[in-house]
A and B are shown apart, each in its own frame.
Chain A
């Protein structure tokens, strides 16, 4: 039988200080946050209030602002209409070809924006001759703006909705089924109310994506002043004629609208969570 060694304590252990850890992490984080703020501050410093208001006064820019608000809102709503069912199906059901569908849904996210615009343009080349009027009502017209924004924004909305439904325990729907619900009742009465916050987030994200859309718009909708001009197009047009001040002023309008939408969605979304 072996002798058990007498218990001798190891030398007292002292943990190293955590200060360098938090310092390093904090510095790296602060650097990036600082860069974001500096960018915006530089924009602000470059333009004057007069410049800013002057930009607002131009009828082209007013038109562009109005079209941006309307088209982004339409794209966001349209994105939700598609993202909610797609997100739900992808989250809940395992079916043949699911991985393929999953990959296809990511295409608008990974494809270069210009290629999306070009592909849309080519797609509409295939509209049969009988429906030329249909094509002409869309390509290089306002509907093209919404379609181009929607094609990209929807992919982001789908991702968010899917994550939302993933987080909602499917047990609750199952209980609803045993309580007498049909699938659609379980979805409408139990799942959708619980997904409310995700829907707000998803819609906001889609709206913000639509606001930033430019490449596909340029190709599929064109950049015609007071016709298919949205804020991102305005920045491009002002920049191309060397009017840097106006471009910056419009950029700031975009920043402001994005911030407002984010704030509204955050407060609204949070309140929806705590009734």
Chain B
């Protein structure tokens, strides 16, 4: 469960004032909003990477407002994946487990399981150099869910992918949701992503987080900035 209550944030020239919303355990929440509306900053504060001015953040029923990122039990996939350039694919999947001093055999088992879920078994020994955009994102997602966190935060994970890869990633994300049972908050400005994945749909409007009913997607789409939907084929791979 992700519960944000009366949260206030300030960063640069934007602010969020007394924002509240909730995503129930195991649900897939999608958060939309204009570029610069504070989607990423909101996600970062939930992850514990940005300080909050006021309010409260609960994850899995625990107040984590003042907790360190390491203690929030959440997986975080930033926009560009932010993979570790010196590590192989399997190093990424094993990283959080090694930090937790899990046994070698258990780590190996888990790495294979994750690779199978994300269809990256053939990449395990590869360095991350030369991976395609979709492969990189799957590694980043695998790294984020490796230690079985209760919450998964995704910041525009599909924004740099072509349409075919993106469509396949919907399948992968759906599988991740089913197999992990994690509560997910996915930031995007792509309405088709929201339509394909969301259980709950939120939008940042004038410094507030407003929930929209799901059939409302068309209207949300038309309100979002121009590159929201993405013209087919215009996206970088």
Interface residues of A (CB under 8 A from B): 169, 171-172, 174-182, 185, 189-190, 193-194, 196, 274-275
Contact = CB atoms under 8 A, between A and B. Distances in A.
A118 B199 CA distance: 72
Size bin of chain B's contact surface: 20 to 34
A182 B82 contact: no
A178 B99 contact: no
13 contacts: A172-B82, A175-B82, A175-B144, A178-B49, A178-B69, A178-B70, A178-B75, A179-B95, A180-B100, A181-B70, A182-B70, A193-B87, A194-B85
B47 interface: yes
Contacts of A182: 70
Nearest to B47: A178
A89 B20 CA distance: 35
A175 B85 CA distance: 13
Interface in B68-82: 68-70, 72, 74-76, 78, 80, 82
A176 B146 CA distance: 13
B86 A275 contact: yes
B84 A194 contact: yes
Contacts of A179: 70, 75, 95-96, 99, 143-144, 146-147
A185 B99 contact: yes
A158 B48 CA distance: 30
B127 interface: yes
Contacts of A172: 82-84
A34 B209 CA distance: 65
A181 B78 CA distance: 17
A194 B87 CA distance: 9
A175 B99 contact: no
A171 B80 contact: yes
B85 A174 contact: no
Contacts of B74: 178
A117 to B, nearest CB: 41
Contacts of A174: 44, 47, 49, 69, 76, 78, 82
A180 B84 contact: no
B84 A190 contact: yes
User: Sorted from nearest, which 3 A-B pairs have the closest CB atoms?
Assistant: A171-B82, A179-B96, A177-B69
A171 B99 CA distance: 18
A177 B143 CA distance: 12
Nearest to A192: B86
Contact of A193 (B70, B86, B129, B143): B86
A179 B87 CA distance: 15
B86 A194 contact: yes
B84 A178 contact: no
Given A178-B47, A180-B70, A169 B82 contact: yes
Nearest to B155: A171
Given A178-B69, A179-B146, 4 more contacts: A175-B143, A177-B49, A178-B74, A180-B147
A193 B88 CA distance: 13
A192 to B, nearest CB: 9
A3 to B, nearest CB: 34
A259 B208 CA distance: 61
